[in-house]
Structure 1
């Protein structure tokens, strides 16, 4: 009874604290993610007031948070949207991967962490934060801008890539061999292909089966189906997050809209718990030694994300100002970087990987809204300064006039 009371007190304090932090962040119009991570650092190993009784309960809540994050992401897209985006914008996805994943992999190898940590850190630096970026675009009133579809297409391609990348990381951190890893990847690709096929051909039938006029029944069916599929996916070592993402893609129409409305508060609650849980497992004393590499990596990958957005927008025929706005908007990293790093931290791959990922996300989740707002004005000012410093072109010498002699 005593331990149960302590659990309720600790967990209630966590939820209350997260609510107050969220209100503080909303008041000053920035993402609450860094505050949630800092809260986890404060109450985790080596923090100010380590938790005890509620840690296991928080771990379960964190796992549900990852599942709901990916489910809600899948609900944002239909299968036809994903296929059309893949066909139209795959070159932008390849540029995005090359410019942003390779710096993370190179940093891990330079730090001597080995190939598995390199694959994990590549994902941490590659994937932008859809949640933070969507909020920033709304706050800046840019949802209707011409460059916004380009931003969304890059995010969609990253989300699609997660369905392939997460099973690879899951297999690597689990230490399975090449044969078992190949089977895991084949199962993941087969499941993704099957879900896309079913969603394209029979999506309406599936949505009608799940649909209900009663919000309570709709919530229970969608949530139960998602957690069930996520559990089966994890049992197959594919990744629970991928299973949840595929469920979201398979649902469409009014069902997807209704589920999105009902599940949004739950997503926000458990996602906040997930960020706290990640911070709980990071010792604050381990962050200062990796702060310089994290800052250097943040600066490099902020620049490569801006270059990615600029290239993708130019390819789509967007004006120069819109290209800079596209690049600046893509800088923020957040939930997916922490999800990827969390896989490695849980498996004990590299002790310094979690602290570096935490510091990296803290830097870019704060820097991202600033680059979204100020990259285009700063680029314009820089262009004007260069134009002003350019020496004026010499005027061509007037042509010599030849007078025609007047005849008699």
Structure 2
């Protein structure tokens, strides 16, 4: 009875605190994610008031939060949209891998950690946080923007690449032979391909099966199906996030609209819990010794992610403002990076890798929502100032016409909401 009461007090205090932090962030018109993470640091190991009884429940809630974030993201697009975007954006996925994995690998080698640690840190710096970015896109009202499909295509390519990468890393860390690693990889690829095939080929049948006029039944069936697919995917070495995303794209029409309305409050609740959980497992005392290399790596890979998004959006014909928004949105790292680093820590290949990865992710998961919001306005101001210096004395009509044309182009690029 006592432990139950402590659990209710602790978890109630966390939820109440998150609500107050969300209101504070809303008042100042910025994403609440950094505040949620700082709250996690305060309640985690080495923090001001460590949690005890409710930590296990928070961990489960965090997993559900990531799954719901990706489900809701998948509901925004149909299966045909996904296949079309993947066909057209795969070069962006290759550029993303090269630009963002290499800095991590090089840093590990410079620190003398060896090739296996280099492969691990490459994954940490490569993969953006689908959970954080999904939340940021919703907070900033950009789900309808023209650059958003480009962002989602890169995220999906990264998530699908994890189906290949994670079995390889697991085999390297375990010292497994080529045969065992190949079997694990084949299973992962087969499961990911099967789920994608079912989503594309039988999406309408799935929507018909799920459909219900009763909101309660629709909620239970969709939530149960999503958790079931995510759990099976994770059990078979495929990301649970990939499974949830594919369930989302498999649903269409009125089912997708109804699901979006019903699950939005649950998504917001469990997403906030996810970000708190991330902070809970970061010991503030482990950050200072690795802060300098983590900051250097964060600055470099923030730049490479912005470059990746800008290049991909430009290739898709998005306007200049949309290109900067795409690049700034991709900066955040999160859940996948921590999973990858956790594998290395468990294997014990390099004691400093865990704290470095944690500090690195913490920096970018706080910086990511800020770059998503401010990269485009800052780039526009810098561009305008440079253009003003290069221009000769203004000649009224011509100058005004040029400004008008640029304004129209940017407005078209934003889509439904900016």
Q: When the two structures are superposed, what TM-score results if normalisation uses the length of structure 1?
A: 0.82
Aligned to 2:414: none
Deviations 1:212-233 (A, max 9, x none): 1111111111211222223333
Q: What pairs up with 1:17-28 in 2 under 5 angstroms?
A: 17-28=17-28
Rounded Cα–Cα distance in structure 1 between residues aligned with 2:318 and 2:162? 27
User: Quick one: structure 1 residues 133 and 52, their matched pair in 2 at CA, closer, same or farther if it must change by over 3 Å?
Assistant: closer
Deviation at 1:138, TM superposition (A): 7.1
User: Quick one: structure 1 residues 314 and 70, their matched pair in 2 at CA, closer, same or farther if it must change by over 3 Å?
Assistant: closer
Rounded Cα–Cα distance in structure 1 between residues aligned with 2:250 and 2:318? 32
Matched, 1:88 2:88: yes
Rounded Cα–Cα distance in structure 2 between residues aligned with 1:146 and 1:240? 27
User: Quick one: structure 1 residues 276 and 324, their matched pair in 2 at CA, closer, same or farther if it must change by over 3 Å?
Assistant: closer
8 Å CA contact 1:309–1:326 kept in 2: the answer is: yes
Deviation at 1:54, TM superposition (A): 1.5
| Secondary structure at 2:202 match in 1 | helix
Rounded Cα–Cα distance in structure 1 between residues aligned with 2:213 and 2:277? 35
Deviations 1:297-319 (A, max 9, x none): 12111221222233223333455
Unaligned runs of 5+ in 1: 390-408
Rounded Cα–Cα distance in structure 1 between residues aligned with 2:4 and 2:221? 30
| Secondary structure at 1:49 match in 2 | coil
Deviations 1:25-79 (A, max 9, x none): 2222222222222112111111111122222222222222233233333333322
User: Quick one: structure 1 residues 239 and 200, their matched pair in 2 at CA, closer, same or farther if it must change by over 3 Å?
Assistant: closer
Deviation at 1:337, TM superposition (A): 4.2
User: Quick one: structure 1 residues 267 and 180, their matched pair in 2 at CA, closer, same or farther if it must change by over 3 Å?
Assistant: farther
Q: What pairs up with 1:187-206 in 2 under 5 angstroms?
A: 187-206=187-206
Deviation at 1:358, TM superposition (A): 4.0
Q: What pairs up with 1:121-140 in 2 under 5 angstroms?
A: 121-129=121-129
User: Quick one: structure 1 residues 246 and 313, their matched pair in 2 at CA, closer, same or farther if it must change by over 3 Å?
Assistant: closer
8 Å CA contact 1:328–1:376 kept in 2: the answer is: no
Deviation at 1:139, TM superposition (A): 7.2
User: Quick one: structure 1 residues 333 and 217, their matched pair in 2 at CA, closer, same or farther if it must change by over 3 Å?
Assistant: same
Aligned to 2:377: 373
Aligned to 1:254: 254
Aligned to 1:403: none
Aligned to 1:57: 57
8 Å CA contact 2:162–2:239 kept in 1: the answer is: no
User: Quick one: structure 1 residues 275 and 131, their matched pair in 2 at CA, closer, same or farther if it must change by over 3 Å?
Assistant: closer
Rounded Cα–Cα distance in structure 1 between residues aligned with 2:170 and 2:253? 32
Deviation at 1:2, TM superposition (A): 0.8
Deviation at 1:324, TM superposition (A): 4.1
Rounded Cα–Cα distance in structure 1 between residues aligned with 2:166 and 2:263? 23
8 Å CA contact 1:196–1:249 kept in 2: the answer is: no
Rounded Cα–Cα distance in structure 2 between residues aligned with 1:48 and 1:146? 43
Q: When the two structures are superposed, what TM-score results if normalisation uses the length of structure 2?
A: 0.80
Deviation at 1:375, TM superposition (A): 2.1
Moved more, 77-86 or 174-183: 174-183
Unaligned runs of 5+ in 2: 393-418
| Secondary structure at 1:51 match in 2 | coil
Deviations 1:98-145 (A, max 9, x none): 111221232233334454544443333223345655666677777776
Larger radius of gyration: 1
Deviations 1:11-33 (A, max 9, x none): 11111111111221222222222
Matched, 1:34 2:38: no
8 Å CA contact 1:40–1:280 kept in 2: the answer is: yes
Deviations 1:135-173 (A, max 9, x none): 666777777766555444434433443454455556666
Aligned to 1:100: 100
Aligned to 2:213: 213
8 Å CA contact 1:71–1:246 kept in 2: the answer is: yes
Rounded Cα–Cα distance in structure 1 between residues aligned with 2:66 and 2:349? 20
User: Quick one: structure 1 residues 149 and 233, their matched pair in 2 at CA, closer, same or farther if it must change by over 3 Å?
Assistant: closer
Rounded Cα–Cα distance in structure 1 between residues aligned with 2:155 and 2:61? 26
User: Quick one: structure 1 residues 264 and 139, their matched pair in 2 at CA, closer, same or farther if it must change by over 3 Å?
Assistant: closer
Moved more, 232-241 or 39-48: 232-241
8 Å CA contact 2:166–2:237 kept in 1: the answer is: no
Deviation at 1:296, TM superposition (A): 0.9
Matched, 1:272 2:276: no
